[in-house]
């Protein structure tokens, strides 16, 4: 058995790939649909979110996306949806407003052109001065918006063109152009509020605001301010500042005073002097940026903070106010910052926001997020749409079925041609099987979430090679590299789009060609060229194969690294396919042919 260790490694790789593609846990069963978007008009808003699995409608199993479309057409009345295994009761009035996709049956990372969805490429308007930092801001802004929309699956990426310009690519699987358009035009509502706690004695307290004092009286749950009765969560105005009475705590009445809203943030600086990140120590990275706020906002800040006590932070030695400033976007809290006591009672129109994080990436990310929130989610530059691609999900639905049939028929064609040439199935059947195994391995390598599987394959391969070495079997440096390198490639994953499928075809094409060269050197040459033994001929075949594979890889490398790279999938798949070929499958094929020859 171990004599054929090269073949063993191929078999291990094929099984590893099958597991990588197909091994998947279905928490709520294989049938059903996966939610990708719930529109605000849908009765399910707030109850069903992106990523949920819907399996039943009124106790009827939903098979797939097509079935869902039929079952939910003009849905009316009280219905029960089983979402993630629990029942959700909803009243429908013809509008369903839930966009879904089929549940992924494989771990393959399918591209938009196979799955359906929208791809938009944006470019900065001509007169904009664009740096990579600004592009980072734009992407952060769009990500924040997508999160508000419940579209966490949307992918944003910056792509530079060789002429120095920038493009921003948005990929949204399964959703239509209208949703992406909404996302692009959407702007949020920003508010910053400062906390104040007023201590009460016998249900009465004094609220000091700027130079004024206001009496607060508690009446049961309610608060009486200036003889007006305020219920919890209600708003009231004092000295031109809007306050919210949140609740009563152990220490007193908890209030939130609004200091800034969208129009008060006049500018969020992004230049390196006023916005940046620096390392303070090991695992301490600080970020800072300056904001220009309106005079009114600055005055409100001074008024609210004037009478707030402060404390010293024992870790940093800095002095902070007891009050904090809370940032809201569209009513949800997005951040909560401390206020340096130096700012107390100052009418300061250019405050600086600072903070620390344990890694540089986190610090940069936090700065970008806060800058985005302060701009109320507005984009820092004007963008123009330069490319729109909308792919209907049904266009790709029967793709794999027809691709599989086409592949099998192509396999038969190859089998016939090779049989006609050598009049022997001994060369042609293994050849076709090896070609199919190459397809499986390429798919397996591209699949996602497969660290453990490929880790296991790596271990098994190492064991096989160890035993082969122990038993003093012939060493093959290509296979040894391949047995280690290919599982490592498997640990990463890449998107399978239509060009990548083209790449698989290309790789298999060269693969078959090379196997023919091997078959030829061993089988057809046997009568005339007695002076060569089989090993010698296979060595010559590998010289040809290696040269050819290297040129193919060389031709593909530019495609893999060119800026925007819509055919990157083609290039990567071809390169990986050729590598799998020279390092795993061709040596195994050569070994199989050798075995067959030896038996003659």
Partner 1 sequence: MNYKAYMVIPVILLVLSVGILVNEYSQTGEFFKRSIDLKGGTLVTIKLSEPVDVAGLRAHLTAIFGEVEIRELSGITGQSLLINTNVDVDVDDFLDEISSYGVDVVESSTQQIGATLGEAFWYQAQMGIIIALIFMAIIVFLIFRTLVPSLAVISAVIFDAIITLALMQVFGIPLSLASLAAILMIIGYSVDTDILLTTRLLKGTGPMNERIINTLKTSLTMSITSIGALIVLILFGIAEVLTEIASVLLIGLVIDIIITWLMNAGILRWYMERRGIA
- Within positions 152 to 211, which residues make up the interface with partner 1, using CB under 8 A? 161-163, 165, 167, 177
Site for partner 1 in 430-489 (CB under 8 A): none
For 384, the 3-state DSSP assignment is strand
Give the other-Cβ count within 10 Å of 9's Cβ: 27
Cβ atoms of 200 and 253 within 8 Å: the answer is yes
Size, binding site for partner 1 by CB under 8 A: 77
Q: How far is the CB of 501 from partner 1 (least distance, A)?
A: 6
Smallest gap, in angstroms, from Cβ of residue 136 to partner 1? 20
Q: Does 70 bind partner 1 (CB under 8 A)?
A: no
CA–CA gap between residue 451 and residue 73 (Å, rounded): 41
| Residue 565 · residue 467 · CB < 8 Å | no
Nearer to partner 1, 334 or 508 (CB): 508
Q: Can you tell me the distance from the alpha carbon of 241 to that of 67, in angstroms, rounded to the nearest whole number?
A: 55
Quick one: 31 exposed, middle or buried, by C-beta within 10 A (0-12, 13-18, 19+)?
middle
Task: Give the separation between CA 42 and CA 91, rounded to whole angstroms.
Answer: 10
In the bound state with partner 1, the residue whose beta carbon lies nearer, of 366 and 521, is 521
Q: Judged by CB under 8 A, which of 392, 449, 463, 474 binds partner 1?
A: 392
The stretch near partner 1 (CB under 8 A) out of 37-45, 282-290, 390-398, 579-587 is 390-398
Q: Which is nearer to partner 1, 309 or 558 (CB)?
A: 558
The residue within the footprint of partner 1, chosen from 206, 406, 475, 488 (CB under 8 A), is 406
CB of 168 to partner 1, least distance (A): 11
Q: Which residue lies nearer to partner 1 by CB, 399 or 433?
A: 399
- Binding partner 1 (rule: CB under 8 A), the pick from 312, 405, 459, 475 is 405
Measured over the CA atoms of residue 207, residue 213, residue 218 and residue 224, the dihedral's sign is negative
| Cα-to-chain-centroid distance, residue 8 | 36
- Tell me the closest approach of the beta carbon of residue 464 to partner 1, in angstroms: 31
Q: Which is nearer to partner 1, 138 or 265 (CB)?
A: 138
Query: Considering the complex, what minimum distance in angstroms separates the CB of residue 520 from partner 1?
Result: 4
Q: Which of 2, 11, 333, 417 binds partner 1 (CB under 8 A)?
A: 417
Distance CA 354, CA 352 (A): 6
Candidates 208-216, 279-287, 413-421, 461-469: pick the segment binding partner 1 (CB under 8 A): 413-421
228-260 burial, b for 16+ CB within 10 Å, e for fewer?
A: eebeeeeebebeebbbbbbeeeeebbbbbbbbb
Least separation in angstroms between residue 314's CB and partner 1 is 55
506 sits near partner 1 (criterion: CB under 8 A): yes
Task: Give the tokens for residue 423.
Answer: 């009049």
* 274 scored as a contact of partner 1 (CB under 8 A): no
Q: Which is nearer to partner 1, 273 or 531 (CB)?
A: 531
Q: Choose between 312 and 406: whose C-beta lies nearer to partner 1.
A: 406
Q: Which of 58, 215, 336, 513 binds partner 1 (CB under 8 A)?
A: 513
Based on the shown chain and the rule CB under 8 A, indicate whether residue 402 belongs to the binding site for partner 1: yes
Instruction: By CB under 8 A, tell whether 362 contacts partner 1.
Output: no
CA diameter of the chain: 113
| Residues in 547-576 that interact with partner 1 by CB under 8 A | 547-548, 550-552, 554-559, 562-564, 566-567, 570-571, 574
- Exposure of 548 by Cβ count < 10 A (0-12 exposed, 13-18 middle, 19+ buried)? middle
Among 326, 540, 594, 595, contact with partner 1 (rule: CB under 8 A): 540
Phi, psi of 75 (to 5 degrees): -70, 130
Instruction: State in angstroms the smallest separation of the CB of 336 from partner 1.
Output: 41
**Which range touches partner 1 (CB under 8 A), out of 75-83, 242-250, 463-471, 523-531?**
523-531
In DSSP notation, 465-480 reads HHHHHHTTPPP-HHHH
Residues 76-105 that bind partner 1 (CB under 8 A): none
- Tokens (6 digits) for 245: 């009475």
CB-based contact 521:540 (threshold 8 Å): yes
413 binds partner 1 (CB under 8 A): yes
The reply on whether position 238 binds partner 1 by CB under 8 A is: no
d(CA 169, CA 372): 19
Q: If binding is defined by CB under 8 A, does position 589 make contact with partner 1? A: no
Nearest approach in angstroms of CB 497 to partner 1 is 9
Strand ranges, E, within 26-160? 33-38, 53-57, 60-61, 76-83, 86-93, 98-102, 117-124, 155-160
Q: Count the Cβ atoms, other than its own, within 10 Å of residue 563.
A: 13
Tokens standing for residue 27: 């928490």
> Cβ atoms within 10 A of the Cβ of 379, count?
18
Interface with partner 1, residue 130, by CB under 8 A: no
- Decide whether 163 or 185 has the Cβ nearer to partner 1: 163
Determine if 132 is a binding residue for partner 1 (CB under 8 A). Answer: no
The residue among 548 and 596 lying less far from partner 1, judged by its C-beta, is: 548
By the rule CB under 8 A, 127 interacts with partner 1? no
- 317-356: which residues touch partner 1 (CB under 8 A)? none
The helix/strand count (H/E) of the chain reads as 15, 25
Distance CA 137, CA 377 (A): 10
**Euclidean distance between CA atoms 567 and 495, whole angstroms:** 11
Least distance to partner 1, CB of residue 413, Å: 4
């Amino acid at each position: 058995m171990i004599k054929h260790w090269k073949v063993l490694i191929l078999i291990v790789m094929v099984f590893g790939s099958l597991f990588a593609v197909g091994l998947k846990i279905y928490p709520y069963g294989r049938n059903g649909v996966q939610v990708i978007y719930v529109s605000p008009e849908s009765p399910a808003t707030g109850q069903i979110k992106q990523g949920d699995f819907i399996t039943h409608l009124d106790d009827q199993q939903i098979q797939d996306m097509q079935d869902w479309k039929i079952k939910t057409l003009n849905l009316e009345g009280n219905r029960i949806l089983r979402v993630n295994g629990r029942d959700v009761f909803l009243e429908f009035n013809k509008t369903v407003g839930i966009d879904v996709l089929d549940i992924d049956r494989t771990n393959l990372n399918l591209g938009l052109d196979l799955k359906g969805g929208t791809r938009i490429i944006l470019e900065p308007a001509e007169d904009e001065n664009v740096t990579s930092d600004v592009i980072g801001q734009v992407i952060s802004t769009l990500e924040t918006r997508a999160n508000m929309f419940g579209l966490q699956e949307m992918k944003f990426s910056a792509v530079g063109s060789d002429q120095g310009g920038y493009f921003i690519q948005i990929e949204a699987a399964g959703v239509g152009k209208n949703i992406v358009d909404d996302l692009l035009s959407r702007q949020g509502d920003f508010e910053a509020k400062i906390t104040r706690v007023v201590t009460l004695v016998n249900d009465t307290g004094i609220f000091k605001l700027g130079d004024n004092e206001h009496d607060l009286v508690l009446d049961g749950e309610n608060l009486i301010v200036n003889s007006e009765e305020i219920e919890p969560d209600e708003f009231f105005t004092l000295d031109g500042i809007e306050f919210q009475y949140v609740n009563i705590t152990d220490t007193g009445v908890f209030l939130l005073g609004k200091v800034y809203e969208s129009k008060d943030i006049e500018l969020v600086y992004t230049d390196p002097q006023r916005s940046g990140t620096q390392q303070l120590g090991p695992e301490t990275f600080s970020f800072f940026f300056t904001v220009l706020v309106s005079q009114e906002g600055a005055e409100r800040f001074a008024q609210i903070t004037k009478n707030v006590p402060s404390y010293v932070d024992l870790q940093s030695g800095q002095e902070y106010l007891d009050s904090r400033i809370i940032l809201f976007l569209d009513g949800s809290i997005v951040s909560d910052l401390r206020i340096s006591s130096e700012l107390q009672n100052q009418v300061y129109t250019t405050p600086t926001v600072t903070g620390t994080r344990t890694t540089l990436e986190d610090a940069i990310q936090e700065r970008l997020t806060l800058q985005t929130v302060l701009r109320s989610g507005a984009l820092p530059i004007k963008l123009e749409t330069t490319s729109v691609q909308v792919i209907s999900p049904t266009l790709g639905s029967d793709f794999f079925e027809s691709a599989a049939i086409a592949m099998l028929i192509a396999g038969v064609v190859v089998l016939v041609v090779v049989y006609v040439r050598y009049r022997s199935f001994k060369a042609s059947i293994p050849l076709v099987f090896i070609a199919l195994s190459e397809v499986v391995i390429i798919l397996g390598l591209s699949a996602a979430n497969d660290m453990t599987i490929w880790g296991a394959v790596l271990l098994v391969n190492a064991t096989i090679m160890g035993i082969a070495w122990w038993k003093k079997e012939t060493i093959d440096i290509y296979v040894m590299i391949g047995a280690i390198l290919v599982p490592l490639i498997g640990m990463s994953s890449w998107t399978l789009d239509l060009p990548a499928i083209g790449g698989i075809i290309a790789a298999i094409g060269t693969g078959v060609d090379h196997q023919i060269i091997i078959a030829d050197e061993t089988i057809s040459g046997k009568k005339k060229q007695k002076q060569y033994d089989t090993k010698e001929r296979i060595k010559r075949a590998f010289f040809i194969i290696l040269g050819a594979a290297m040129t193919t890889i060389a031709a593909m490398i530019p495609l893999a690294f060119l800026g925007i790279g819509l055919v990157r999938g083609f290039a990567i798949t071809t390169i990986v396919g050729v590598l799998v070929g020279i390092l795993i499958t061709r040596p195994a094929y050569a070994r199989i042919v050798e075995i067959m020859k030896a038996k003659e």
